[in-house]
Structures are given as C-alpha cells and as structure tokens.
Structure 1
Amino acid sequence: MTPLVASAVLNPINSTLIAVALVPIGQAFGAGPERTAWLISALYLATAVGQPVVGLLVDRYGARRVLVGGALVVIIAAIGGMIPVSVEWLTGVRAVLGIGTCAGFPAAMAVLRKRADALGQGVPARVLSVLSLSSQTIMVIGPTLGGVLISLFGWPAIFAVNLPLAGISLLLAVLWVPKDAPARAAGAPKPARIDLAGIALFSAALLVLLCYLMAPGIGDLWLLAAAIAVGGVFTWVELRVRTPFIDLRMLAANRAILRTYLRQALSFMAIYAIMFGYVQWLEEGRGFSESVAGLMLLPMSAVAVVAAALSGRPTGVRARLLVVAGALVAGSVALLFVDDSTWPAGLLGLVAVFGLAQGLTSVANQTTLYREAPAETIGTASGLFRTAQYLGAIVASTVIAQCYGGHADSGGLHRLAVVLVVISGLLLLVTAADRGLRRAESRPRLG
C-alpha cells in the first residue's frame, strides 16, 4: 500500500496547494481570477483526458511501469514551475503536472484488484478506505501547507515541493511495487493498436468545451457548437474502432457505472467550488492572508478525514451518498447568508459541513465502482472515474470565474451559492432515485 498511496496523493496535493496560491500568483503577474482560474482548469483538463489514457496503459503495460513514468513527468514539471515566466507558462506547467499525476489512482486500483482476485476476496473496502483517507489527509494539509510554503518561500514553493514527493514516489515504486509481466509474452498475439484518434478527439472536445465555459456568451456559441460536433465525431469513431479508447457500448450497457460517474462529478463540482472559491473570497473579500485562509479550511479537511476513516465498509453505500447530497444542500443554502460581517466561528462551521460530504463521497463511490467494473478494464474504468471528478472540477473553476469576475466579493460568493444549491439539489434527486444502489449491496461484484 505504501508506494500506491505515495503515488496516488501526488494529484490531490497539487489540486489543493494551488488554492491559496491563486491570489499571490495573480498579484505577481497582474492577473485577475478570470485568468488564474486557468491554473485550476489546466491541471484538471489534463487529468480528465489523461486518467483514462493512463488507465489504458496500466491495463496494457502494467502498473509499475506507469507509476515510474508518471513520477518522472512530475519531477520535470516541478522544475518548470519554479521558473516565473508568466501565468500562461504556469498554466502549461500545471497541465504537465496533471498528466504526470494521473498514474497513481488507476495503477493503485489495478494492483488492488489483481491482489484481491488472487486471494479470492471481494471488495477490499478497508483498503479502498485507506487509499481515500490518504487523499483526504493530503487535502487536509494541502491548503495549510501551501499557505506556510508561500509565506516562507513565495508561491514557486508549491511547485518545488513536488521534487521530494515525486522522488519518494519513484523510489518506492521501483522498490516495492511488484514487477509487471512482460508487455508481450512470447508467442502472444500482437496487442491491438491504441486508439490515438479517439484520444485526440476526446481531448479536443474537452478543450473546446472548456474554452467556451471559461467565457460563455452569445458571441462564443460557435465554440459550444464546435465542441458538440467534435464530440459527435468522437462518438462515431469510438463505435466503429475495434479497440476504442473509451468503450461507449460497455458504458451504455453498464448504467450503474454511469450513475457513479455522474454522482462523482456533481459532488466534486460543489466540493471544488468551495475549496477554491471560498478561499479566494476569504483572501480578497475578507482580507485574510494566504496562511490564515488555508487554516480556515482545516475544519473541512479534518471532518473529511474522520468521515473517510469511518466509512470503510462495503455496505451502507446508499445511505452515505444520501448524507453527502444532504450535506451539500445544507452547506450551499447556508452560504447564501455569509457576508463580510459573518463571525469566524460561522465561517469555520460552514466548511465543516462540506467536509462531511468530501469525506464520504469518494469512499462510497469507489466501492460502487470497484463492484461494478470488469476486472480486465479496471484501470480504464478507474481513470474514467477520476475523469468524471475532474470534469466537475473544471466546471467548478468555470463557475468561480463567472461568479466572481474581476474580484472575489460577497456578491460573487452569493452567486456561487445559488449555483451550488442547484448542483447539490440535482445530486440529491439523482441519488434518491437510484434504486440500483440498494440492489448493488446484495449483488456480488463483477469479476
């Protein structure tokens, strides 16, 4: 578990460190929230595309090879991030970081599935809980660590911290992750070609859609039309290629996985909107320093850790998911009443409510995914699971940029709250209506 956890936490730590760095980076380069939002979106766009690609590579070439390659990419990106060229340069660095940190989760899920199947075990709920708990713990220390690093060394430190972390991940993967089988055994048929056209079309569709979402308007509707058109071509190609990048037929037949992806996306739209948007308001709207703003997120992260630690059971998934949706609805409504005069105790209690949802959602949805995903494609399915999560993050960063505009004030926070009420209400309806969750707990997982 140790090398798997070390690799899997690289993505969440880079997701959370940036939360308290957006304002100082913007000040350094004279950029407002509408530009610094790309620092969030770039990593998540790269991750959204990269996760299923890396999952495919895990299924085909093995987890150990992919973990080593991912750590090397992160090291290269960390060096690039310490060079203060421009916001656009750092946006590109964040995209490379997203690609490098893709390796951890699908590789970990593949290793765990292979190990559990070899032992004849079912859903390794406690192990999945440990994997999720490690990510939650990193999300606890991420904003606070980022604030401390920026106070001591400046914002480039949030990139430099990847050097020791990725180095440790690389070393542990080489020493402790079981060696992969030969990429092609003697006498085995030649593996099918990787669907490069599918990967390119999927990437293009997401990129064009993101460009529209970052500045939606009547004059930019051609971008939305282009995204739909590219998505249509992607669907046409994937339904005809022998070994598609994303097996759309499998997804259409396995609606339980689709519902899991939808829940994960909706949950993290709200969670990331708070993680990034709330911190920006604390810094700009309330005037807190980066380190204090990071500390203000501790209740959210601490509650998330406790909730994740207590949810390591393969049963009761539906009840936990209903609690997630209910907590997000309650927190979003409460956010409507927060302003410049709200007491600090109220600000801390608000983020704790969102922390409950953050801690429960990943473990519950991971358990459902593990149960429903075929063993031979667990890497790809896990990659798509993270793609759904980071699509939620992309939408969240877009919503933040649109709600705040050039300054994160209380009016913008209230506009953000209205959007979150809609998102969390939809999540509650989707979860409550999903009868498959109740049936899944009494059905054996797919092998």
Structure 2
Amino acid sequence: MTDQTTAAPDDTGKAGFDRRLVPPMVLGSILNPINSTIVAVALVPIGAAFGAPPSQTAWLVSALYLATALGQPIVGRLIDIFGPRRLFLLSTSLVGVAGVVGTLAPNLGVLVAARVLLGFGTCAGYPAAMALLRSEAKRTGQDSPAGVLTVLAVANQTIAVIGPLLGGLLIGVGGWRSTFALNIPLAAVAVALGVLRLPRQPHTGAAARSSVAQIDLPGMGLFAAMLFSLLMFLMNLHAGAWYLPVITVAAGACFTVRELRAKTPFIDLRVLAGNAPLLATYGRALVAYVVSYAFLYGFTQWTEEGYGLSPLHAGLVQIPMFLVGIAVSVTVGRRNGVFGKLLVGGVGQIAACALMLTLSAGSPLWMLVVVAVVFGVPQGSNSLALQNSVYFQSDPQRTGSSAGLLRTFAYLGSMVASSATAASFGQHAGTPGMHHLAWIMLGAGVLYLLITVFDRSLRHLSAGPAEPTRTA
C-alpha cells in the first residue's frame, strides 16, 4: 500500500500519526455497532407494523450479522489491494442507500434486504481503520497504534451504550423508520470526511491492472459459500438442515484446493497455517464472543422473563457493563503488552459466569448489577487486546483482510451464542435455562483462558513501539 498523507511534526521533530484520520476512522468503525444495537428496540414496533412474529423479525438481526461476517474479510482484502480510501467511500455510500431503502420499505422483506445492504456497507470501516494504522506506521516509522486502537475500542463500546437509548428516542420522535433514516446523515458525514481526509493512492494503468489481477474471485466465492452455509446451520440447528454442513465441508475443501493453487490467494492458507499466534487470536475471538453475546442477549432475556424486569429496566441493568468496559479500555489501553489484557479478560469472564450461576428469580436486584459490572471488565479488556494482537501478528500487506477475519470469527461466536441461548431456554427464559447457558459460557471462558495462558508468543507481543510479527 502506498497511501501518503502529511502530518505536523511532533515535539521531537518527527512526523507523528496524522490525527486528521481519526474522525473518519472512528465514524466508519461505529456504523456497524450502531446498527447492531439500535435495532434491538425497534423489533417490536416493526413486527407490529408488518404483522410479523418474532421468528421473522429476528432476521433483521441475523441479516446484518450474516452480511458482515461474509463481507468483512472480502472487503478487507480489497482494502489491502486498492487501499482504504476507495473501499471506505464505496461502502459508506452503500450505508446511505440502505438507509433510504429501509426508511421507505413497504414490507418486511425489503427491510431485511436493507439490513443486508447495511451489513455489506459497514464492512469497510474497521478493516480500513486497521490498514490506515499500518500505512501511518510505515510512513512515520513509529509503530505505536495503542492510543488510536483505544479510541476505536472506546468509541465502539460507547455506541453499544447509547445505541438502544438513541433508538428509543428516535422511535418516540419519528417511529421505527427513523432508526433506518439515521444512516443517511451518518453516511453523508462519513463520505465527506473520507473525501477530505483519507489519503489517495495513485494508480497508473499498469498498477491498476496488477491490482485487479490480485483479486481472487473464485476463492472469495467459495469462502462465501462455505461461511454462509455454516452460519445458516448455526442459526437453524435441527435435523432438517443436515445438508448445510455437507455444503460447508464441500465448499471448504474446494476453497482449500483453490487457495493452495492460486498465485495470489484471497487467504494465503500456507502462511496462515504457519502463523499459530494469529490462529490462536482468532480462536480466542470466537470463544470470547460466545461469552459476550450469550450474556448480552441470553442474560437480558432471563432478566425479563425469568426475573420479571421490564424491557427498560433490563436495558438499564446492562449499562454498567458497558460503562465499566469503557473505563477498563481507557485504563489498560495506556499499558504496553497484550498478555496482561487477555489474562484480565479471561479471569473476568470466568468470574462473571460463576456469578451467574448464583442468581435466581429471588436474587436482589443489586446482584444483577454486580454481574453486569464484572462482565464489563472482559468487555473492555478483550476487545482492545484482540485488536492489538491482530495488528502485530498479521502480515502488513494483509492487515485489512486479517482484521476482517477477526470480525468474522467474532460473528461466528455470536451465532454459536445464539444457538446456545435457544437450546438452553427453549420456550421460556427461566432460571434453569439461564444456569445451563452460564455453564456453557463458563466452559468457553475456561477455554479462552487456557488458549491465552499456553500461548507463549503473547509474552513478547507489545502494544507499544515494537517490531510487529511478520509471519502471517
């Protein structure tokens, strides 16, 4: 990547990170989480408007996750090839189009299509931010993105706090369609910031042809088929879906053969297989988000059905988790190293899951708040540590696709959490089901901690100025 930008020298006389890049990076990265959280309070009024049951409106959540899980690594790879500017502008423009489609949607099917567009449109924000960090490190010779990574983590967690509250306010003022209309001004501002501040990457005719030649369309198609069938199976765990894992295995086998033979593979499996630390990071992301999403959705369902809180009060119980998460991100973000952050996150997950096992319908309300507070520790520590890990463990030429794969594994974790929640609760989110889910979460938390403790490479991984790992 040859993006160039300018920045004023710092007090040492060296050019530092170009802070003008931070606003588009942050705004681009929060487009996905704001659309993930704001829809939570819109599902009921949307169902009432279209006469759709919860089983159908649930596709408004799943459609975004499916599109994002598929699109993140693909868009990330395109960012590696063409640079972040073009993909950022194209994707954020698509967010605006999705906002228009959703605002004017005449039925639920069109609304689901709008959520798919939103999923693909929000794919570029995070990989573009990571690629910009890498290009700035190359330009300045200062490989120290910890501060900016902390800003990204805090911004995403802040959106998680205000998303449902903002959604409720918008619905109260303009109805559920306003939650889609919000994307129109957000996209306009993001595009404007991208045009004004993101560095250009000049292409000669020969360079453009070379870049196009690097696009592995067959590999991307097979990857999409493999992941889509897997995600659909995780969302529909029943005997009638037996053909989905068969498709997953077949597409995976074809994908492997293709990538091993391709001159410029979409995902270089040989190099990825040789980068055990990065694979371990992806594994940690998967199990971490199993715990995180199971708590976010499963525990919340129990607080309403099993404990008897109103939806408003159930949402308020979650707020301490996000506030503590923000505080933890700011605190640990000032420290170098990744191992300590991951260790804190792993222990925090186990402690929080153990506390869930002590709850019952008769527990005092303050105990629910305590559980949320404890869950805030891994919420803040894990997300930041995983970002740091991918930045330093990935190939500098594949930062975008590596960052996209991190999000893909996170969404795989969310799908596993969704299936585990459905299996644990059945028809009613009662206390026995919550305890069953807590045991599953506890197992995932222990696995996360073991993967961390036995990964010796983490001891040498710095989140401050250091030479990043170059083996993936």
TM-score normalized by the length of structure 2: 0.87
Give the whole-Å Cα distance in 2 for the aligned partners of 1:83 and 1:59: 35
Deviation at 1:289, TM superposition (A): 4.4
Give the whole-Å Cα distance in 1 for the aligned partners of 2:293 and 2:208: 48
Q: How does 1:228-267 map to 2 (within 5 A)?
A: 228-267=249-288
Deviation at 1:8, TM superposition (A): 0.9
Q: Is the 8 A contact 1:44 1:391 kept in 2?
A: no
Q: Which segment drifts farther, 25-34 or 391-400?
A: 25-34
Give the whole-Å Cα distance in 2 for the aligned partners of 1:27 and 1:282: 23
Q: 2:111 aligns with which of 81, 84, 90?
A: 90
1:21-56 Cα offsets, whole Å, 9 max, x none, are 344445555655554443332212211111111111
Q: Is the 8 A contact 1:147 1:292 kept in 2?
A: no
Q: Is the 8 A contact 1:372 1:446 kept in 2?
A: yes
Give the whole-Å Cα distance in 1 for the aligned partners of 2:245 and 2:210: 42
Aligned to 1:371: 392
Distance 1:90 1:186, change over 3 A: closer
Distance 1:81 1:310, change over 3 A: same
Give the whole-Å Cα distance in 2 for the aligned partners of 1:291 and 1:149: 15
Deviation at 1:188, TM superposition (A): 7.5
Distance 1:150 1:351, change over 3 A: farther
Q: 1:19 aligns with which of 18, 40, 43?
A: 40
Deviation at 1:93, TM superposition (A): 2.3
Give the whole-Å Cα distance in 1 for the aligned partners of 2:204 and 2:299: 46
Aligned to 1:299: 320
Deviation at 1:399, TM superposition (A): 2.5
Instruction: Please tell me the root mean square deviation across aligned C-alpha atoms, in Å.
Output: 2.5
1:273-313 Cα offsets, whole Å, 9 max, x none, are 22223333344445544443332221011011111111224
Q: Which sections of structure 2, spanning at least 5 residues, go unmatched?
A: 1-21
Whichever residue aligns with residue 259 of structure 2, its letter is: E
Distance 1:210 1:188, change over 3 A: closer
Give the % identical residues: 44
Give the whole-Å Cα distance in 2 for the aligned partners of 1:256 and 1:303: 29
Q: Which sections of structure 1, spanning at least 5 residues, go unmatched?
A: none
Whichever residue aligns with residue 445 of structure 1, its letter is: P
Q: Is the 8 A contact 2:235 2:415 kept in 1?
A: no
The answer to whether the aligner puts 1:320 opposite 2:338 as a matched pair is no
The answer to whether the aligner puts 1:51 opposite 2:69 as a matched pair is no
Give the whole-Å Cα distance in 2 for the aligned partners of 1:14 and 1:57: 23
Q: Is the 8 A contact 1:215 1:402 kept in 2?
A: no
Aligned to 2:162: 141
Deviation at 1:239, TM superposition (A): 1.2
1:319-344 Cα offsets, whole Å, 9 max, x none, are 22111111111212222333333332
Aligned to 1:196: 217
Q: Is the 8 A contact 2:302 2:429 kept in 1?
A: yes
1:99-157 Cα offsets, whole Å, 9 max, x none, are 10011111111111111111111232111111211111111212322233334444333
Q: Which segment drifts farther, 125-134 or 174-183?
A: 174-183
Q: Is the 8 A contact 2:237 2:419 kept in 1?
A: no
Whichever residue aligns with residue 225 of structure 1, its letter is: V
Instruction: Provide the secondary structure at the position in 2 that maps to 1:365.
Output: helix
Whichever residue aligns with residue 65 of structure 1, its letter is: R
Give the whole-Å Cα distance in 2 for the aligned partners of 1:282 and 1:187: 55
Deviation at 1:190, TM superposition (A): 6.2
Distance 1:83 1:398, change over 3 A: farther
Q: How does 1:3-42 map to 2 (within 5 A)?
A: 3-26=24-47, 28-29=49-50, 34-42=55-63
Aligned to 1:445: 468
1:81-109 Cα offsets, whole Å, 9 max, x none, are 23455554433322221110011111111
Q: Which segment drifts farther, 102-111 or 76-85?
A: 76-85
Give the whole-Å Cα distance in 1 for the aligned partners of 2:321 and 2:145: 26
Distance 1:203 1:228, change over 3 A: same
TM-score normalized by the length of structure 1: 0.92
Q: Is the 8 A contact 1:55 1:379 kept in 2?
A: yes
Distance 1:157 1:333, change over 3 A: farther
Aligned to 2:88: 67
Aligned to 2:195: 174
Give the whole-Å Cα distance in 2 for the aligned partners of 1:83 and 1:186: 41
The count of residues paired between Structure 1 and Structure 2 equals 447
Give the whole-Å Cα distance in 2 for the aligned partners of 1:168 and 1:190: 29
Give the whole-Å Cα distance in 1 for the aligned partners of 2:214 and 2:118: 26
Instruction: Provide the secondary structure at the position in 2 that maps to 1:297.
Output: helix
Distance 1:83 1:186, change over 3 A: closer
Q: 1:79 aligns with which of 86, 100, 106?
A: 100
Q: 1:207 aligns with which of 228, 240, 248?
A: 228
Give the whole-Å Cα distance in 2 for the aligned partners of 1:279 and 1:115: 41
Instruction: Provide the secondary structure at the position in 1 that maps to 2:122.
Output: helix
Q: Is the 8 A contact 2:47 2:54 kept in 1?
A: yes
Distance 1:191 1:360, change over 3 A: same
Whichever residue aligns with residue 392 of structure 1, its letter is: G
Q: Which segment drifts farther, 304-313 or 290-299?
A: 290-299
Give the whole-Å Cα distance in 2 for the aligned partners of 1:84 and 1:285: 35
Whichever residue aligns with residue 167 of structure 2, its letter is: G
Q: Is the 8 A contact 1:47 1:99 kept in 2?
A: yes
Q: How does 1:214-229 map to 2 (within 5 A)?
A: 214-229=235-250
Whichever residue aligns with residue 256 of structure 2, its letter is: T
Deviation at 1:353, TM superposition (A): 1.5
Instruction: Provide the secondary structure at the position in 1 that maps to 2:347.
Output: helix
Q: Which segment drifts farther, 14-23 or 357-366?
A: 14-23
Distance 1:198 1:83, change over 3 A: same
Distance 1:349 1:281, change over 3 A: same
Whichever residue aligns with residue 269 of structure 1, its letter is: V
Whichever residue aligns with residue 131 of structure 2, its letter is: A
Whichever residue aligns with residue 467 of structure 2, its letter is: P
Give the whole-Å Cα distance in 2 for the aligned partners of 1:284 and 1:36: 19
Whichever residue aligns with residue 388 of structure 1, its letter is: F
1:151-175 Cα offsets, whole Å, 9 max, x none, are 4444333322222222211111111
Whichever residue aligns with residue 317 of structure 2, its letter is: M
Give the whole-Å Cα distance in 2 for the aligned partners of 1:429 and 1:125: 25
Instruction: Provide the secondary structure at the position in 2 that maps to 1:239.
Output: helix
Instruction: Provide the secondary structure at the position in 2 that maps to 1:9.
Output: helix
1:50-83 Cα offsets, whole Å, 9 max, x none, are 1111111211222111111111111111222234
Give the whole-Å Cα distance in 2 for the aligned partners of 1:56 and 1:85: 35
